[in-house]
Amino acid sequence: MKSIFKKIAMVGVVYLITSCHDLLDIDPAKYTMVKDDYYSTAAELNYALNGVYAALADGNLYGNNMLGRMGLEADEAYEDYSSDENSVGDYNVTPTDPKIQNYWRSCYVGIDRANNLLANVDNADIDISVDERNDIRGQALFLRAYYYFMLVTRFQGVPLILNPIKNASAEELQHPRATGREVYAQILQDMEKAAAWVKPASEVGTGGRVSKSAVWGILARVNLYLAGYPYYEEERYEDALVYAGRVINEGFHALNPSYQQVFINYAQDKYDLQESIFEVEFHSDGTAVYPTSGMVGRNNGIRNPVIDNVIGLSIGVLRSTDYLHGLYETGDKRQNWNVAPYYYVNDGGVAMKVEWGVNDSKYQRFCGKFRREYETVLPKLNSQTPQNFPILRYSDVLLMYAEAYNEVYQGANDDAIEYLNMVQRRGLGLDPTLASPTTDFTDRGYADFKKEVRDERPRELCFEMLRKNDVVRWGVFYDNMVAREAETPQTYTSSYYVRARRYFRSVERRDAWWPIPSYEMGVNKKLVQNPGW
C-alpha cells in the first residue's frame, strides 16, 4: 500500500507549503499534487480509491472530532469534556476554531483525491474492464459529492473545485464561494451519475464500500435537506420519496431483529449490509480496507477511566438530556441502550460498573450506543478503537420514506405507517415485520404523523451525527436549543448541570452553520464570510 500513502503524503506536503509560504523562499508552482506517471495500473486506481475513502476516517472527521466534539448532537445531548471548553463543541464558535478549520481542510483533501482519480480513471493503457473502471469512477464521484455534502450542511455555499489542483501557487487557490443551491446541484448531479455505475449492495458485500443502495439512500437525505430550511424546495420531497423507495424496493435490505446487535456488530467488525448500508471502517490493528483507527466508543462511549482489555478506556464526552431520555415509551429497548444506565469507576485498577439510580438525573448519563466492552480486538488501546461508524442505516431509509410521503401527500398511507412501525417494533423488542395492534402507531393525519416521525428519528438515530442537520432543516434548531436550556435546572451546581447550561446557553441563531475558517479567508481572497461572523 506504499503508493497510496505516498500520494496522501504529497497532499500533506502541499498543505505544508501553503501554510509556510512566508517562511520558505520557494516557488510553490513547482510543487505538484500528484506524480504525472501515477494511475498507470488497476492496482494504483484502487489504491487511489482507498485514499479517497480514507479521508472519511481522518481524525478531523469521523475518526475523532466529529464523535461528540463538534456540537452535532444539537439538543439530544451535550459535550462534557474540559479540553473542548470555549470551542465549537461547547457552541463557543469562532472562525479561528481549529476543529472547524481542520474539518474544512480534510473534506477538501478527500475532494482533491477524488478529483485526481476521476481525471485519470480513463487512462487508456490501464488493463481493467469497463465495468470495474466505471465502478471505481462511480465510487469516487459519490465520495466527492459526499464531501461536498458534508461541507454545504455545515457552511452553506463553498468553493466548487471539480478538477485537480495542479500546484500550490496563489492563483490555484483562489476560488469564489458557490451558492448553497449550486453546491447541492453538483451533489445531485454527481450522485445520480454514480448510482448508474456502482454495484448493487448484494454484490458489494460490505458497508465500507459505496453501493447503489448507499447512493440512493444518501440521495434521499440530500433531497430532504433541500426540501427544508433554508432552501424550501418542497418538490424535493417527491425525489426523496423516490430514492428511499428504490432502496426499499431492492428487496435486499432488512432491519436486524436486534437493535443492540447492530452496534455490537460495529464493535466487532462484522458487516450487516442488510441493515448497515454505508459505514466508515476502522481497525486498530491496521487490517481494514483503508487501514486506520478511530475513536468510536472511546470518545462517545460510556465513561471508563481504566485502561484495560476487559471494558476499554472511554473518556465519555457525550452526556444525554432529560429530553432525549423522555422521548422513549415504556418498554423501548433503545432507551437504556442509547442512554446508558451505568458508568465505570476505577476500583484499584479494575473497572467497576456503577448503576445510576432510577431517580438520578438523566443529564449524568453517557451515550451508550457505542460500547467498548463488545470489542474483540486485543489489546484494547486507550487512544484508538476498531469500531465502525454508521453513515446510513436501513432504519433511516424507512423513516425518510415515511417523512417524505407524509409531506408529499399531506398524510400517511399504509406503507408510510408500516415503515414507521417497523422501526418502532424493533425498538420494543418485537418482530419488526409483524403487526402489533397494541403498540403500532395508527394516526395517518399529517400533523400527528409528522410529529411521530420527528420524535422517532432521535429515538432511533441519536448520536449518529444526524440531529443537528435534522433540526436545522426543520427550522427548529435555535428554538429547540433554547428550550433545552430552559429545561435544565437553573440553580443546581453539579458540574454536569453547569456544563449543560453553558452548552445550550451559548447557542446563537447564527450557529445553524459554522463560519468560514479564518485561515481559508486569508489564503483564498475570493471567500466571503457567513453572516454574523
What is the mean pLDDT of the segment spanning 80-100? Answer: 95
d(CA 524, CA 176): 8
What is the mean pLDDT of the segment spanning 482-496? Answer: 93
d(CA 290, CA 483): 42
3-state class of 29 per DSSP?
Answer: helix
What is the mean pLDDT of the segment spanning 418-431? Answer: 98
In which band, very low, low, confident or very high, does the pLDDT at 166 lie, cut at 50, 70 and 90?
A: confident
Averaged pLDDT score across all residues of the chain: 91
**Can you give the pLDDT at residue 32?**
46
What is the mean pLDDT of the segment spanning 419-428? Answer: 98
Instruction: Using the predicted structure, report yes or no on whether residue 458 has a pLDDT greater than 80.
Output: yes
What is the mean pLDDT of the segment spanning 482-506? Answer: 94
What is the mean pLDDT of the segment spanning 453-460? Answer: 98
- Closest by CA to 118, choosing from 40, 41, 173, 49, is 49
d(CA 488, CA 504): 9
d(CA 15, CA 33): 10
Instruction: Using the predicted structure, report yes or no on whether residue 156 has a pLDDT greater than 70.
Output: yes
Partners of residue 70 on adjacent β-strands: none
Range of weakest confidence among 165-179, 306-320, 394-408: 165-179
**Can you give the pLDDT at residue 26?**
37
Give tens-digit pLDDT for 93-115: 999 999 999 999 999 999 999 99
Give tens-digit pLDDT for 34-49: 455 678 899 999 999 9
What is the mean pLDDT of the segment spanning 364-380? Answer: 96
d(CA 205, CA 69): 32
Helix 495-505 vs helix 477-487: crossing angle, to nearest 10: 150
Is omega for the bond preceding 98 within 30 degrees of 0, making it cis? no
Instruction: Using the predicted structure, report yes or no on whether residue 502 has a pLDDT greater than 60.
Output: yes
**Can you give the pLDDT at residue 288?**
53
In which band, very low, low, confident or very high, does the pLDDT at 290 lie, cut at 50, 70 and 90?
A: low
**Can you give the pLDDT at residue 284?**
60
Instruction: Using the predicted structure, report yes or no on whether residue 117 has a pLDDT greater than 60.
Output: yes
**Can you give the pLDDT at residue 103?**
98
In which band, very low, low, confident or very high, does the pLDDT at 153 lie, cut at 50, 70 and 90?
A: very high
In terms of phi and psi (left: phi > 0; alpha: psi -120 to 50; beta: otherwise), the region of 74 is left
Tell me the whole-structure pTM to 2 decimals. Answer: 0.93
Instruction: Output 166 or 77, whichever has higher pLDDT.
Output: 77
d(CA 501, CA 497): 6
Q: Cell 466492552 identifies what position?
A: 373
Percent of the chain with pLDDT over 70: 92
Compute the CA torsion angle 138, 144, 150, 154 (nearest 10 deg).
-140
**Can you give the pLDDT at residue 18?**
37
**Can you give the pLDDT at residue 368?**
98
Give tens-digit pLDDT for 193-230: 999 999 999 999 999 999 999 999 999 999 999 999 99
